[in-house]
Amino acid sequence: MENERIKLVPPSLKYAGSMLTVINESQAELSQFLPWASESLTENELEHNIKEALANFTNFTGEFWFNIIEKETGLFIGVIGFIVRDKSVPYFEIGYWLQTSKVGKGYITEAVKLIEKYAFTDNHAQRLEIKMASSNLKSQAVAKRCGFQFEAQLMNARRLPSGELDNTLVYAKMCL
């Protein structure tokens, strides 16, 4: 999947080193909302996660992701995750993170639009969902910009990596 600026490629050990570098470089921002994005993440743990994501991708089950590659440079810049919530509906959830230096340039909005096509056209989704901490204003902006509708606020439904309690917001888009 690709557009003029990015391409989305399946999980691959090929990007493990680049991914770890970007995670470490962007750790201060990522660790606000993503518990796995801590200074203690090792290359071995990341490789294990990539292998698991690749198996899930191959079997179209559980959680996997697509690496976001900037076409102009060929560099890994982030991830858009894909969670198979219920194949019988079909119903999927997406999540995303981006290298801090690339934030605010439209890359995640473009990735969400590409993954929507993958969900709705290629996999016949009836429902696509984005969930985030209510304090994650940037993620809320992406969901709104991509036409997802606010559905719910789940009070005290998550604990942030900082230990602070937060609400979970649910945005959804139905079959086109």
Residue 70, pLDDT above cutoff 90: yes
Q: What confidence score (pLDDT) does residue 7 get?
A: 97
Q: Any alpha helices (H) in 26-119, and if so which ranges?
A: 27-30, 43-59, 107-117
Q: What confidence score (pLDDT) does residue 176 get?
A: 65
Q: What confidence score (pLDDT) does residue 102 get?
A: 95
pTM of the model: 0.92
Q: Which helix (H) or strand (E) holds 9?
A: strand 6-9
| pLDDT (average), residues 42-59 | 93
Q: What percent of the chain has pLDDT over 90?
A: 85
| Distance of alpha carbon 131 from alpha carbon 81, whole angstroms | 12
Give the number of other CB atoms < 10 A from CB of residue 58.
11
| pLDDT (average), residues 74-82 | 95
| Distance of alpha carbon 9 from alpha carbon 45, whole angstroms | 21
- CATH assignment of 6-174? 3.40.630.30
| Distance of alpha carbon 57 from alpha carbon 40, whole angstroms | 26
Q: What confidence score (pLDDT) does residue 97 get?
A: 94
User: What confidence tens digit (pLDDT) does each residue in 4-40 have?
Assistant: 999 999 999 999 999 999 998 888 898 888 877 766 6
